[in-house]
A and B are shown apart, each in its own frame.
Chain A
Amino acid sequence: MSDEILDHITNKEYEFGFVTPIESDKIAAGLNEDVIRLISSKKNEPEWLLNWRLEAYAIWEKMNEPTWAHVQYKKPDFQGISYYAAPKQKPQLNSLDEIDPELRRTMEKLGISMEEQKRLSGVAVDFVMDSVSVATSFKEKLGELGIIFCSISEAIQEHPDLVRKYIGAVVPRTDNFYAALNSAVFTDGSFCYIPKGVRCPMELSTYFRINEGGTGQFERTLVIADEGSYVSYLEGCTAPQRDENQLHAAVVELVALGDAEIKYSTVQNWYPGDKDGKGGVFNFVTKRGLCDGNRSKISWTQVETGSAITWKYPSCILKGDYSVGEFYSVAVTNHMQQADTGTKMIHLGKNTTSTIISKGISAGKSQNSYRGLVQINKSAEHSRNFSQCDSLLMTDRCGAHTFPYIEVKNKSSKVEHEATTSKIGEDQIFYCLQRGLDQEQAISMIVNGYAKEVLNKLPMEFAVEAQKLLAISLEGSVG
């Protein structure tokens, strides 16, 4: 391949690396009980939640950062982070016109202007800028169906019983170091409740953006699908360019009751650092869904192209009989990026099924690992899992690794695992060139074809965005 093209593309800077100058209400760096009390009081939280946070903090203090992932990085200084930043603005927003014009421009640069979202795709957007939700649309329409879609802060005020019942029910505070930290200091996130038998008529969407330099972001998302309901939830993110590392430790909890279905899709494009690996977001996320009721279903689809370090395992606990868990993932790493990502499928109920399709793509000098656990417990009779883990190498300087863990504790279940590793074919590229496509088009086409099984699982408007992202992340990165 031509070195010139390779250099040009691999030196391409992050397209969404801009900073929105908005005045910010930010507390001093550092973490202690007083900071947690301050966060809780700023958010006017009930006492039970303050106590819940303080307990989480006590748990966190006794924990150590996990070191088992196949990633290397300089540990964040947890006392060097400011744990609360909220854009200064009017406290109540009734219409889009009231939003800070700077913020509007940010959304427009990202191609996700509210008007367009409303007009074109019928998507309700809960836009999270730093830590406080600034706009929520379609609320009225959703309200008619009894659907609650709001910031978690608002849910704490308006629906405290639901929050109290489910927060930490799927990801307990003791689960891991980052989940404990998140539980202590989360400042915002999204909340969604779909009532019994309601099929949510539109894709619910949250766009995340890390905006304030030096602030960690600790989102907390809780989605509850009551019996027989359905919801498709979209999460997408881009971040401005930074010199220092930005820590992101979100917790996402999904609960599907009997016969309910949750489809959770993510396109993640946080700043990955420059080509030498400087800067970039640390993405240490805990995502887990509980298929609580019989015949419930949770499906995770993710397209991961960003972050300097990714540590993320969207998982399903299949508790209800005949419940279904799915994980579809495309993880792209380029330059010096490192990703250790995969899923856990914990089968507890009888006749539960899970499917894992993971497509890793490594370019530059990056390291891309799939780590997955399929655990079929004794009670989970007649359960099934199918896993397919494919790795595509774009250069001979990158790495692809697969760490599958399989535990089967009964004899009536069936587990299948398939794995392939391939290098992008010179023959394939030349075939495309001979038909008049240039090298970038060729690679974009081949890679999108490779990832198609996963991209097809995304809702239409997200799939288009994801294809563009793959192209931007990888074009010309063959070597």
Chain B
Amino acid sequence: MLHIKGLEAKIEDKEILRGLSLDVKPGEVHAIMGPNGSGKSTLASVLAGREDYEVTAGEVQFNGKDLLDMAPEIRSREGLFLAFQYPVEIPGVSNMNFLKAAVAEKRKHLGLEPLSAKEFLKLVSEKSKLVELDGQLANRAVNEGFSGGEKKRNEIFQMAMLEPTLGILDETDSGLDIDALRIVANGVNALRSPERSFVLITHYQRLLDYIVPDFVHVLYKGRIVKSGTKELALELEEKGYDWIKEEVDAHA
């Protein structure tokens, strides 16, 4: 469902992704790990269509369509969801109105009838339970005054509402205490299905104790340099990244 081949991208004049390839099949969970500055968050931003990054080479197919050709909002409506590392606050805009507009756009794109107010509220109450989100939070302004944990839970709640086919989680575990991490992970696990894939971008193995990935990849200098299963994450936890860096740099 996601097919990345030879992807290169730069910001201003700095090359960040240098020929990244990755295949994600429906229902799979892929974890992307790597040292600081390896390009993990850039990958998330490029897939979501952030304008600051310029794609200089490579291709990305998403459900058989050319992802790079789509505007960011079209990527979203086509089923790509990015849970941000730093969700922004939008003062004065209620979470509910925000989501209502987002869900309506997606349904319109898919040629579906808009949800009635009653159906929408039912969906909200159902999905907010997934991440144990207080009903009050849904009525507050988007992320305004939310704690770090609440912001991340809100991201997962939004993901549940928008029912994407691909969820990209950009360091969703950063800044979470163990309870919040468990809640977020439970939410993600509840959303796992044979049609829905995930790309988890993370620094630490900790998250993968809760969301068990099918594959683990190591990103270094803008390329995937090693792939394996969840055991690779444990090995990284134990040994750090230096041995991989040495291996890669020796071949360079």
Residues of A in contact with B (beta carbons under 8 Å apart) = 1, 425, 427-428, 430-439, 441, 445-446, 448-453
Contact = CB atoms under 8 A, between A and B. Distances in A.
Contact of B49 (A425, A432, A433): A433
B16 interface: no
Contact of A451 (B77, B87, B92): B92
A438 B73 contact: yes
B77 A436 contact: yes
A281 to B, nearest CB: 29
Given A450-B92, A452-B92, 17 more contacts: A428-B90, A431-B84, A433-B73, A434-B48, A434-B73, A434-B82, A435-B99, A436-B76, A436-B77, A437-B105, A438-B105, A441-B105, A445-B97, A445-B101, A449-B90, A452-B91, A453-B92
Contacts of B92: 448-453
B101 A437 contact: yes
A439 B141 CA distance: 19
Interface string B71-105: 11101110001101001101111000111011001
Contacts of B93: 445-446, 448-449, 452
A439 B49 CA distance: 13
A426 to B, nearest CB: 8
Contact of B72 (A433, A445, A451, A453): A433
A446 B90 contact: yes
B50 interface: yes
Q: How large is the interface on B (under 10, 10 to 19, 20 to 34, 35 or more residues)?
A: 20 to 34
Contacts of A452: 91-93
Interface of B: 48-51, 71-73, 75-77, 81-82, 84, 87-88, 90-93, 97-99, 101-102, 105-106, 109, 141, 158, 162
Contacts of B81: 434
B201 to A, nearest CB: 15
Q: Most chain-A Cβ atoms within 10 A of its Cβ — which of B76, B97, B106? A: B76
B76 A434 contact: yes
Contacts of A448: 92-93
A61 to B, nearest CB: 48
11 contacts: A432-B90, A434-B73, A434-B84, A435-B76, A435-B102, A436-B102, A436-B109, A437-B101, A441-B101, A448-B92, A449-B91
Contact of B162 (A425, A435, A438): A435
A245 to B, nearest CB: 35
A183 to B, nearest CB: 41
A438 B99 CA distance: 13
Interface of chain A: mostly helix, strand, loop or mixed: helix
A34 B161 CA distance: 71
Contact of A435 (B49, B91, B98, B109): B98
Q: Most chain-B Cβ atoms within 10 A of its Cβ — which of A1, A431, A445, A451? A: A431
Contacts of B75: 434
Contacts of B90: 428, 431-432, 445-446, 449
The 8 closest A-B pairs by CB, nearest first: A449-B92, A452-B92, A449-B93, A436-B76, A433-B72, A435-B102, A436-B105, A427-B88
B39 to A, nearest CB: 19
Contact of B88 (A431, A436, A439, A445): A431
A450 B73 CA distance: 22
A434 B88 CA distance: 12
